[in-house]
């Protein structure tokens, strides 16, 4: 299912999906700077991957994954850490950049133009966010090919 949404429509769509799948483990997948944190703050019981992962990292792990520019090597290392340390709990959708063991995956896509605008406002590097987005899309496509999960695709428009 594919839907284009404003911020409020995205919140409403997420709440509806969360309600429909309330007894399942849900990942909300999106790149940096697309508004995940803003959205999850407006929906009760959601969890941010960063809030779960960062407290569990060693100083060396945190320094490695904080390097700029973002690379596939850093992404692969983050994936490894997330798979080892993070689990999705029923009733607590995880907002993430990585698909972890779950039943439902919601991809919040954003156009490159809007992503560039969001990055500029937040002082983040567009190319890093775009590289993360490309990695996410590859992961999304690989999981869709495998099947076994329910997939939703929402396009953020603001």
Tell me: pLDDT of 1 over 60.
no
**3-class secondary structure per residue, 17-62:** HHHHCCCCCEEEECCCCCCHHHHHHCCCCCEEHHHHHHHHCCHHHH
pTM of the model: 0.86
**pLDDT tens, 112-156?**
898 899 889 988 889 888 888 998 899 899 999 998 999 999 988
Strands (E), 31-149: 47-48, 94-96, 104-110
CATH code, residues 2-156: 3.40.50
Alpha carbon distance 67, 73 (integer Å): 11
């Amino acid at each position: 299912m594919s839907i284009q949404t404003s911020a409020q429509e995205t919140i409403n769509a997420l709440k509806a999906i969360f309600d429909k799948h309330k007894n399942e483990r849900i990942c909300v997948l999106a790149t940096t700077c697309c508004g995940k944190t803003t959205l999850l703050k407006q929906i009760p019981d959601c969890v941010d991957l960063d809030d779960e992962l960062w407290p569990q990292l060693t100083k060396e792990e945190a320094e490695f994954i904080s390097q700029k520019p973002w690379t596939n090597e850093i992404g692969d290392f983050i994936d490894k850490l997330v798979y080892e340390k993070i689990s999705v709990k029923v009733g607590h959708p995880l907002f993430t950049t990585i698909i972890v063991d779950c039943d439902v995956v919601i991809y919040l896509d954003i156009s490159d133009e809007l992503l560039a605008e969001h990055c500029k406002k937040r002082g983040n590097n567009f190319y890093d966010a775009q590289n993360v987005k490309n990695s996410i899309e590859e992961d999304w496509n690989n999981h869709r090919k495998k099947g076994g999960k329910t997939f939703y695709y929402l396009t953020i428009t603001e």
